[in-house]
Amino acid sequence: MIKKIILDTDPGIDDVMAIMFAEAHPEVELRAITTIFGNVTIDTATHNALYLKEKYQLKADVVKGADKPLVRPPVGPSVVVHGESGFGDVEVPNEVEAVADPRSAHQYIIDAVKAEPNEITLVAIGPLTNLALALQAEPEIVNLVKEVVIMGGAFGVNDHRGNVTPYAEANIHDDPHAADIVFSASWPVVIIGLDVTEQSFFTGDYLEQLRDDAGELGQFIWDVSRFYLKFYRDKVGLDACHVHDPSAIAYVIKPDLFTLREGPVRVVTEGPAEGMTVQKFDGRKYLHDDWENHTPQRVGVAVKDAELLKLYRQCIVDYAHKVG
């Protein structure tokens, strides 16, 4: 069964890995890439998406999204992780022929789910501003989306709590107010956070093998990963990178790779714990409970990491051989 997705992204090195994963898998139809600030500015994110569209002849529309958070001051691009261009040391041409859809990203999302009710899954692997803006403009879309899959957050499972602060993950920290709106809405959300993404690793050897076996695409993934792996080696002490954004695509393709925990989720929107994600999952009644009346959402708490890595590799290699 074909799974239609709109991928909301801030490309971004691991975003490249996720975009091409979605494009490569035969059961996924990548309808659109909506862009968002985060790893890079909104202009760079959109340019990078258009570059990928042109380079790999993607049929997906590219649509420019929000350039800043709903409320909090912008954090700024993650240059230390993704480089100035977003693609590490890989240079992106200044000019591309591909053009973006004229609509805003949030309006595109609204139009798309209205046109195909309950058929489109929204996959967001950057800050959640575009999704929050869509909810604010058309609250009824909660009944029109098939599912919402988020790469973001950290809930303390497997000892993973945050990556930009002790208790906040980057995508949520970039716009915590948007995340709280998205998680509190009455649509079905699956959150694939650090609790599972930091359990899987693309090692140097894994990426070298992908380079050798997956043609030009494997080489491109390897090229952009050089900067990323240097960051992990220098700052985190790993000869590998966590499988963040591709894990969200893996969930769409094969949900049983993940174990999920259900319960409403809230986001801390100010103070030193800004961006912290907290799930109530005990079912108890409390005197004071700002979770009680919110929609239960599902959070990833375990992953079959070896199967995920095998799925990613096989998908990219098969696609590379297919397109030559």
* Tens-digit pLDDT profile for residues 14-63: 999 999 999 999 999 999 999 999 999 999 999 999 999 999 999 999 99
CB atoms under 10 Å from CB of 119, counted, come to 16
Give the 3-state secondary structure of residue 105. helix
Structure tokens of 24? 């490569």
Given this model, what pLDDT does residue 139 score? Answer: 98
Which of 47, 173, 177, 244 is catalytic? The answer is: 244
Domain ranges in the chain?
A: 3-323
CA dihedral 132, 136, 141, 143 (to 10 degrees): 100
- What pLDDT is attached to residue 107? 98
Q: What pLDDT, on a 0 to 100 scale, did the predictor assign at position 113?
A: 98
**What per-residue confidence (pLDDT) applies to 262?**
98
**Predicted pLDDT at 83:** 94
12-43 burial, b if ≥16 CB within 10 A, otherwise e? Answer: bbbbbbbbbbbbbbeebbbbbbbbbbbbbbbe
Mean pLDDT (the chain) is 97
Res. 255: pLDDT tops 90: yes
The predicted-structure confidence for 186-214, as pLDDT tens digits, reads as follows 999 999 999 999 999 999 999 999 999 99
Q: Residue 227: which residues within 8 A CB-CB, separation 6 or more?
A: 13, 82, 83, 87, 88, 89
DSSP 8-state code for residue 234:
I
Predicted local distance difference test score (pLDDT) of residue 226:
96
Confirm if 37 and 111 have CB atoms less than 8 A apart: no
Strand partners of residue 202 = 241
- Residue 236 reports pLDDT greater than 90: no
The model's confidence at residue 323, banded by pLDDT at 50, 70 and 90, is confident
Higher-confidence position of 235 and 303: 303
pLDDT tens-digit map of 170-184: 999 999 999 999 999
Q: Bigger pLDDT: 1 or 221?
A: 221
- Per-residue CA distances from 139 to 93, 123, 125, 134 (Å): 39, 18, 21, 8
What is the pLDDT averaged over residues 103-126? 98
CATH number of the structural domain 3-323: 3.90.245.10
* Residues in CB range of 179: below 8 A, 6 or more apart: 127, 128, 132, 152, 153, 171, 172, 267, 275, 277
Is residue 177 part of the annotated active site? The answer reads no
DSSP letter string, 264-275: -EEE--SSTTTT
Find, among 196, 225, 224, the residue nearest to 299 by Cα: 196
Output the pTM of the full model: 0.97
pLDDT band at 221 (very low <50, low <70, confident <90, very high): very high
